[in-house]
Amino acid sequence: MTENLIPALDPAPLPGPPWLFHLLWLVTFTVHLLFVNTVLGGTLLAALYPASRKGGRETRTLLVEVNSWTISLAVTFGIAPLLFMQVILGRFFYSATILVAWAWLGLLGLLMVGYYLNYVAKFRLRAGRDAGLAIWLAAVCFLGIAVIQVVISLLHMQPDRWAAVAASGWAALADPTFVPRLLHFVLAALSMAGALLAWVAVRRAGRGGDAETNRAMAGFGIRAALIATVLQLADGFWLLLALPEGVLRAFMRGGAATMVPLTLGILAGLGLLVLLAQIHDPLAQPTRVRRVAELLVGTIVLMIVTRHQVRDLYLAAHRAGEQVVVATQWGALALFLVVFLLCVGLTIYAVVRALRDRPAPGEQAA
Amino acid sequence: MDYPIWDLAMGGGILIGLVAITHVWVSHFAIGGGLAIAITETLAVRRGDPAMRNLAKRSSLMLILISTVFGAISGVGIWVTIGLVQPAATSALIHTYVWGWASEWGFFILEIVTALLYYATWEKVRPRTHLLIIWLYFFAAFMSLVIIQGILAFMLTPGRWLETGSFWHGFFNPSYLPGLVLRTGICLLLAGAYMTFAALRETDAAARARLVRLLAAFQVIGALLAYGGYRWWEVALPGSVKALFAGEKPILAALAGTRSFLLWSLLAFLVIALFALLVPKAQRWPIAAVGLLAAFAFFGGYERLREGARKPYVIRDHMFSNGVLVSEIDALNERGILAKAGWAAFGTTADPVGRGRAVFRAQCASCHTLDGYLAIRPLVAQADADMVAGILAVMKDQGAAYTPGKPTPTEKLDYPHMPPLVGTDEEVEALHSYLMSLKAAQVAAVR
């Protein structure tokens, strides 16, 4: 029954080798996730930090200003992994999204509302007004997006659940890994945003910013990252043990390919915990704060690899008979590589030039 | 066709149209606006004109609030919507053009970053750097159009791709360049129309008139370019499409009507733009609003026409609007449509009416709803059993007219805008039983 509901493989050949699509998918997804974590965690932290407390208004202003860029970048860098993933797993992905069609479409509505609310908060804060409500509403929107993403991610790799979801949409939430996976997502976002906040506050203080305000901001960021990381370690084991038995067994038998990234990821998480616990005064320990941010990014990269491997194991039985034909479009692939390098180069050039070409005092500015 | 089916009362085509048309109204402004802002700020710097500078600055806020938020997200929205409504077609397009889309994404990175950077660096960088950023933005935005136009045009006129399967033959297809000229004109006219509202906020009357005239020039040039591009586009269409709406044999009256509507809208827009060009001091926001509505009507009409002209295909001469491939007609007639469309039978009964419902969901539901858009129930209510059986037989016979890899003269068919009916004789009979059950249900409801 289940196999009859899985659409046939697209008859068109793959326009490039599968490994290339996996590589591009993973690399672009990593960049996407770093921005997503900043947006989700940053908005949650901005909502949770009362504006009335020392550094509260500055924290909100910083995170909202950063998010007016990172939301766009998260969307932009979300396009590429979605594209490359569809080449490989389109028939699973489309089926899952159609089963929860309104939610999948609603994700874009939440994204648009959340983004505009961030602009409302940005302009209200710039005008010296309160922005708590706009930030809280934006946080609800971004949390809603996280829920939808996790639902679709779980559903696309479990065709055995499709019939139940087609009969009742609520069945999409009935997965033992749903809650730990969602928590894994949200806690990682909080850790990353906390580390980012602390890092920026330390840098600002080093450049002559108000020490007390920046100490409060950095302290809040480190505390948030510490609490989230403690919970993350517990949640990580919950998620691992909640995996379907067959998937967990295959994962454990995967040898170095699966166990090395997972073990390194767990060790990095433990290292992060130790590092965070050692920070008592962030302004006095700038190197350690920077290490936290670096280690966090490393941990996320390792967990992305593990996530990708778990997906493959979920789908292994359903993809066992795939007869993929590859007909690489060399010219079009070359076009992409040239355009990509050109555009990334021009983007970096424009940003660097904008940072450096500042008018001298008295000189005309744009 | 073998994907789950999203039962949408309004019809999937309407939803795609709503998302796509609102997106293009914004996305084309994002391109033309980039050029208009770049020219405006360049003139402001060269002439030391503060009014021009203010116009560029005000417009840049509009650009990021409309384009980088609504434009970017609704662009993804089109992709999401077609994936929900036409998953097989989306998969086919991605397999053919993933590197094209990936290239467009490269330009999109540059476009988004420079848009945000441009707005963020007012009063913070030297003018030459600010100008460089906006010209880079325009370059990226226009290049994304250069790429996406190839994929859009491919769906209507795949050209030699049908024989060769080559990326480049499909990309540089017969309606590629005409469509690019048309869309470039639309970018210019929309930029002028949107930015006129920003210009009207200028308090100095003489400066306001100067700005309005400059933007009117954009609109006039854009309208003329769009008209030329549109006419060229019509010439590039296959004979079968032209026969559908463009003159000698308007089989689909709604499409022929849309064509007249969009051309009259363009004329109305041109008149308003010429008025602003000749008498800029008299320009007021209600007149500008009417001009913008005319621009929306023209562009929305064109998109409606382009989508409608593709019928009965989603990729012309390759894939029908219900996801059936031209190349699989014979196989599906032999094996049966339900052998492939597993989801269509999900939740249906095994009796003839239940199987007929499954056949309907597999082949007809991508366009027809029961009671909403292109409702099937009122159609069968007007016909008796023999007539419906006759129509189904003709639609099944139409399958023989199609040859894989070759253009089909669809205008010669009895139902040129509908895919052929495929499946076994038993499935066609089951569909007949289902349609008759709808008729019976309606008669019972009336009584």
**Left if phi > 0, otherwise alpha if psi is -120 to 50, otherwise beta: which for B6?**
beta
A352 near B CB under 8 A: no
The residue range of the domain holding B264 is 12-320
**B274 in contact with A at a CB cutoff of 8 Å?**
no
Whether A202 contacts A289, CB under 8 Å: yes
In a mutational test of the A interface, the residue from B26, B81, B94 whose CB has the highest number of chain A CBs within 10 Å is: B94
For residues B43-59, one letter each, b for 16 or more C-beta atoms within 10 angstroms of the residue's C-beta and e for the rest, the string is bbbeeebebbbbbbbbb
**Are B151 and B248 found together in one domain?**
yes
Residue B5 in any domain: the answer is no
Evaluate if residue B442 carries a pLDDT over 70: no
CA distance B261 to B253: 12
- Residues B378 and B373: their CA atoms lie apart, in Å, by 11
The contacts of residue A335 (CB under 8 Å, 6+ apart) are B99, B100, B103
Alpha carbon of B243: minimum distance to chain A alpha carbons (Å) = 31
Q: How far apart are CA A97 and CA A169, in angstroms?
A: 11
Identify whether B7 is part of a domain: no
Residue type, A280: H
| B:29-68 residues touching chain A, CB 8 A cutoff | 41, 65, 68
Contact between A365 and B108 using a beta-carbon 8 Å cutoff:
no
Q: Which residue among A72, A95, A353 places its CB closest to the CB of B72? A: A72
Phi first, then psi, for residue B320 (nearest 5°) are -75, 165
Q: Is the Cβ pair A365, B346 closer than 8 Å? A: no
Contact check, Cβ <8 Å, B98/A87: yes
How far is it, in rounded angstroms, from Cα A247 to Cα A313? 6
Chain A nearest C-alpha distance from B218 (Å): 24
Question: Which of B320, B349, B370 is a domain's end point?
Answer: B320
Check pLDDT > 60 for residue B412: yes
Question: Is residue B334 domain-shared with residue B315, that is, in the same domain?
Answer: no
A193-217, pLDDT tens digit by residue? 999 999 999 999 999 999 999 999 9
Q: What is the pLDDT of residue B414?
A: 87
Distance (Å, rounded) from C-alpha B175 to C-alpha B302? Answer: 14
**Neighbouring residues of B348: CB distance < 8 A, sequence distance ≥ 6:** B354, B355, B357, B358, B361
| Same domain, residue pair B331 and B315 | no
- Answer for the pair B67, A76: CB distance below 8 angstroms, yes or no: no
Give per-residue pLDDT as tens, B37-66.
999 999 999 999 999 999 999 999 989 998
| Residue reference for tokens 């064509």 | B259
CATH fold, domain A12-174, is Four Helix Bundle (Hemerythrin (Met), subunit A) (1.20.120)
Interface membership of B92 toward A (CB under 8 Å): yes
Indicate if B137 and B226 belong to the same structural domain: yes
Which pLDDT band, with edges at 50, 70 and 90, does B280 fall under? very high
- The verdict on B108 touching A (C-beta cutoff 8 Å) is yes
Q: By three-state DSSP, how is residue B48 classified?
A: coil
CA torsion sign, A8 to A13 to A17 to A20?
A: negative
- Same domain? B316 vs B330: no
Whether residue B334 sits in one domain with residue B305: no
Closest alpha carbon to B241 in B8, B88, B409: B409
Predicted confidence at residue A247, as pLDDT, reads 96
pLDDT at B444 over 70: no
Residue B6 lies inside a defined structural domain of this protein: no
Orientation of helix A56-99 relative to helix A18-48, angle to 10°: 140
- Residue A264's contacts (CB-CB under 8 Å, 6 or more residues apart) are A302
Q: Which long-range contacts (CB under 8 A, 24 or more apart) does A149-153 make?
A: A149/A107, A149/A185, A150/A178, A150/A181, A150/A182, A150/A185, A151/A100, A151/A103, A151/A178, A152/A93, A152/A96, A152/A97, A152/A100, A152/A103, A152/A104, A153/A181
Q: Among B305, B320, B335, which residue terminates a domain?
A: B320
Which chain B residue lies closest to A81 (C-alpha atoms)? B102
Q: Is the same domain home to B112 and B187?
A: yes
* Cα of B76 to nearest chain A Cα, Å: 8
Is residue B257 within 8 angstroms of chain A, CB to CB?
no
Locate CATH 1.20.120 in chain A. 12-174, 176-315
Residue A280: what pLDDT? 93
Would the CA dihedral through B397, B401, B405, B407 be positive or negative?
A: negative
Same domain, residue pair B313 and B427:
no
pLDDT one-digit tens code per residue, B185-237: 999 999 999 999 999 999 999 999 999 999 999 999 999 999 999 999 999 99
What residues 73-132 of chain A have any CB closer than 8 A to a CB of chain B?
Answer: 73, 75-80, 82-84, 86-87, 90-91, 94-95, 97-99, 101, 104-105, 108, 111-112, 115-116, 119
Average pLDDT along chain B:
93
Task: Measure the CA–CA gap between A212 and A207, rounded to whole angstroms.
Answer: 14
Question: What CA–CA distance (Å, rounded) separates A91 from A318?
Answer: 11
Looking at the structure, tell me whether residues B33 and B88 fall in a common domain: yes
Select from A89, A343, A358 the residue whose CB has the most chain B CBs within 10 Å, as the one to mutate to test that interface: A343
Q: If you ran DSSP here, which 8-state letter would residue B280 be given?
A: G
Amino acid making up residue B283: Q
User: Tell me, what's the pLDDT at B246?
Assistant: 65
As to burial, measured by CB atoms within 10 angstroms (0-12 exposed, 13-18 middle, 19+ buried), residue B248 is exposed
Q: Is residue B4 part of a domain?
A: no
Regarding an ipTM greater than 0.90, the answer is: yes
The topology under which CATH files domain A176-315 is Four Helix Bundle (Hemerythrin (Met), subunit A) (1.20.120)
| Inter-chain residue contact A359 with B126, CB threshold 8 Å | yes
Per CB-CB distance under 8 Å, the chain B contacts of A333 are: 99
What integer pLDDT is reported at residue A364 of this predicted model? 87
Asked whether the predicted pLDDT for residue B443 surpasses 70, the reply is no
Non-local CB neighbours of B412 within 8 Å, separated by 6+ positions? B401
Which residues in chain A touch residue B5, judged by CB atoms under 8 angstroms apart? Answer: 98
Of B298, B320, B342, the position where a domain reaches its end is B320
Indicate the pTM of the whole model.
0.94
Chain B residue closest in CA terms to A120 = B65
- Say if the Cβ atoms of A101 and B109 lie within 8 Å: no
Taking CB atoms and an 8 Å limit, are B114 and A350 in contact across chains? Answer: yes
- Cis amide leading into B312 (omega within 30): yes
A320 touches chain B (CB under 8 A): no
Partners of B95 on chain A (C-beta within 8 Å) are: 10, 12-15, 87
B42 found inside a domain = yes
Q: Can you list the residues of chain A whose pLDDT is less than 50?
A: none
One-letter identity of residue A156: H
The CATH number given to whatever domain includes residue B172 is 1.20.1630
Q: Is B346 on the interface with A (CB under 8 A)?
A: yes
Instruction: Tell if the CB–CB gap between A15 and B96 is shorter than 8 Å.
Output: yes
Let me know whether B230 and B356 are in one domain.
Answer: no
Helix (H) / strand (E) element for B45: namely helix B12-47
Query: Which of A4, A13, A94 is closest, CB to CB, to B83?
Result: A94
Q: Compute the distance between CA of residue B137 and CA of residue A179 in angstroms, rounded to an integer.
A: 42
Tell me: pLDDT of B84 over 60. Answer: yes
User: Are B84 and A358 within 8 A, CB to CB?
Assistant: no
Contact (Cβ atoms closer than 8 angstroms) between residue A56 and residue A50: yes
Most B CBs within 10 Å: which of A1, A4, A99, A165, as the mutation test of the B interface? A4
| Per-residue confidence (pLDDT) for residue B247, from 0 to 100 | 60
Verify that B316 and B392 share a domain, yes or no: no
Residue B249: pLDDT band by 50, 70, 90 thresholds?
low
Cα separation, A325 vs A299, whole angstroms = 35
Contact B393, B35 (CB under 8 A): no
Q: Which pLDDT score, from 0 to 100, does residue A327 have? A: 96
Distances (CA, A) of A213 to A285, A292, B38: 16, 21, 40
SS3 category, B39: helix
Chain B residues with CB under 8 Å of A101 CB are: 6, 8, 84
3-state secondary structure chain A: CHHHHCCCCCCCCECCCHHHHHHHHHHHHHHHHHHHHHHHHHHHHHHHCCCCCCCHHHHHHHHHHHHHHHHHHHHHHHHHHHHHHHHHHHHHHHHHHHHCHHHHHHHHHHHHHHHHHHHHHHHHHHCCCCCHHHHHHHHHHHHHHHHHHHHHHHHHCCHHHHHHHHHCHHHHHCCCCHHHHHHHHHHHHHHHHHHHHHHHHHHHHHCCCCHHHHHHHHHHHHHHHHHHHHHHHHHHHHHHHHCCHHHHHHHHCCCHHHHHHHHHHHHHHHHHHHHHHCCCCHHHCHHHHHHHHHHHHHHHHHHHHHHHHHHHHHHCCCCCCCCCCECCCHHHHHHHHHHHHHHHHHHHHHHHHHHHCCCCCCCCCC
Encoded amino acid at B237, one letter: L
Residue B3 lies in a domain: no
Q: How far apart, in Å, are the Cα atoms of B439 and each of B369, B378, B394, B432? A: 14, 8, 20, 11
Residue B329 CA to residue B403 CA, distance in Å, equals 9
Put simply, whether B4 touches A (Cβ < 8 Å) is yes
Closest C-alpha to B55, from B66, B47, B46, B44: B44
CA nearest to B118, candidates B183, B163, B63? B63
Query: Looking at the structure, do residues B105 and B21 belong to the same domain, yes or no?
Result: yes
pLDDT band at B9 (very low <50, low <70, confident <90, very high): confident
Interface test with B, best of A9, A94, A100 (most B CBs within 10 A): A94
Closest chain A residue to B89, measured at CA: A10
Partner-chain contact B112 A72, CB within 8 Å: yes
Interface test with A, best of B27, B65, B69, B338 (most A CBs within 10 A): B69
Q: How far apart are the first and last CA of chain A?
A: 65
The minimal CB distance from B95 to the residues A15, A97, A166 is found for A15
Would an 8 Å CB–CB cutoff place B298 in contact with chain A?
Answer: no
For chain B, the domain total comes to 2
Nearest chain A residue to B41 by CA: give it. Answer: A366
Contact A366 B167 (CB under 8 A): no
The pLDDT score that the predictor gives to residue B300 is: 95
- B13 near B311, Cβ under 8 Å? no
